[in-house]
Amino acid sequence: MRRLVHDLLPPEVCSLLNPAAIYANNEISLRDVEVYGFDYDYTLAQYADALHPEIFSAARDILIEHYKYPEGIRKYDYDPSFAIRGLHYDIQKSLLMKIDAFHYVQLGTAYRGLQPVPDEEVIDLYGGTQHIPLYQMSGFYGKGPSIKQFMDIFSLPEMALLSCVVDHFLGHSLEFDQAHLYKDVTDAIRDVHVKGLMYQWIERDMEKYILRGDETFAVLSRLVAHGKQLFLITNSPFSFVDKGMRHMVGPDWRHLFDVVIVQADKPSFFTDRRKPFRKLDEKGSLHWDRITRLEKGKIYRQGNLYDFLRLTEWRGPRVLYFGDHLYSDLADLMLRHGWRTGAIIPELEREIRIINTEQYMHSLTWQQALTGLLERMQTYQDAESQQVLAAWMKERQELRCVTKALFNAQFGSIFRTFHNPTYFSRRLVRFSDLYMASLSCLLNYRVDFTFYPRRTPLQHEAPLWMDQLCTGCMKTPFLGDMAHIR
């Protein structure tokens, strides 16, 4: 047993993960990809976290000045360490929480306002269970009848503002309608985008807000040099995209792209056949002529994917499209049109660095703790051994809580709960062939590289894990010993 404990953690288990790597959910060969497509915000253009306090403050002021919310809300500032992407919000219960891939709330990660909700109350709110029924969960685009999932990076200031406003109302015993409050906050955040405030901030100081511009240029230039065709589909307006691309790539950036589509209105761009393409001139004015082909160097607005496919004939797995929003950018393309998809997850870099920092320490902790447990259990009878085991398992639970706080004190990792992948992880695996921290990760691979997903054993294929060894699984009779049961 002692030898087995040491064999469970061979030295290579502590090999560091690479934050600049690309991770595959599905096998894909870049040799077969002829056309590369891109979203703009948080895909071609990576933004600094300094943008989030600006969005929060502007939306907060809109609530006070235009929606007549209490002046006391102005005392709240943006807290970048409060929320993580992928959380769910129960509108009627004013509950922000993390849910796993099986629709269970991770206990200890439910907040009303800025205050944690006791586990017992969470279970009581959902009828004596942690499980949230499927009909209440988010639909295809992350919006359910009463629960919304926050999927894009722009939602971080939205979650923070929503929690602050609820905190103020509860702290001052003010009555409010949960649905009205949720809609007002959502509309205030939307106004920041619709009124162009965010665009103005970025345009005024691109050096401050836009990251990795030189790497974006290197990726696009490399693909074009290898004969790949490129296109851009974004919801952002042309003037904003043009200024950003000139900053990152240069004044001739449009020559790199075979098709450029702005204000596409995703995700309806992928499903609504009614909106036609319209051409824009250099000043952003709309043309009225009918679009019969999509020309290189020209700018197009709106349109729909069905006309796009008809005019370009870019179909199936020879197309690889990158975006940051799993629903608005990737879901339809993979499930309904057979394109290959790549998800840009900027949080991945930080999470991997935390994993690398803790991996070696945790492996030693497990090895030493399990060895000590076996030594103690040798001196006890079975009943006493179980008591020792229970105390040891409690220690492991406390260690898991510490690990959670390393990622985020309130909600932990964006990818995992204590035992299962998060709901965000489930959608990431479902809607993306590849995922990475930024487009620059492509520079680390040949343009004909083949990505293979890591073969993950099914539960009946996997060897025994430590918890199975410690809970008596080794005592399970073999099939021969069970013949009398049959």
Q: What tokens appear for 382 in the block?
A: 């079975």
> Across the strands, what pairs with 147?
90
Could you tell me where the beta strands, DSSP code E, fall in 397-455?
Answer: 434-436, 450-451
Residue 276: cis peptide before it, omega within 30 degrees of 0: no
> Would you tell me how many other CB atoms lie within 10 Å of the CB of residue 56?
24
Query: CB of 87 within 8 A of CB of 150?
Result: yes
Using the structure block, give the residue that is written with the tokens 């003010």: 174
Which residue is catalytic, options 7, 32, 39, 467?
Answer: 39
205 annotated active-site: no
10 Å Cβ neighbour count for 17?
13
Q: Which of 41, 90, 152, 167 is catalytic?
A: 41
Q: Rounded CA gap, 55 and 209, in Å?
A: 13
Q: Is 41 a catalytic residue?
A: yes
What is the spatial distance between Cα 313 and Cα 332, in angstroms, rounded to a whole number? 17
Residue 114 has which token pair? Answer: 């800025």
Q: What is the DSSP letter of 263?
A: S
Diameter of the chain by CA atoms? Answer: 87
41 is in an annotated binding site: yes
Those residues with Cβ within 8 angstroms of residue 421's Cβ, 6 or more apart along the chain or in another chain: 100, 101, 415, 429
**Count of positions (residues) in the chain:** 486
Cross-sheet strand order for the sheet of 434-436: 23-24, 434-436, 340-344, 319-323, 35-38, 229-233, 259-262, 299-302, 277-280
* Closest by Cα among 329, 275, 349, 37 to 154: 329
What is the Cα–Cα distance from 248 to 45, expressed in whole angstroms?
8
Across the chain, how many H-helices and E-strands are there?
15, 18
Angle (CA) 32-35-40 rounded to 5° is 135
Binding-site positions for GMP read: 41
Instruction: Enumerate the active-site residues.
Output: 39, 41
Binding-site positions read: 39, 41, 324
Binding-site positions for Mg(2+) read: 39, 324
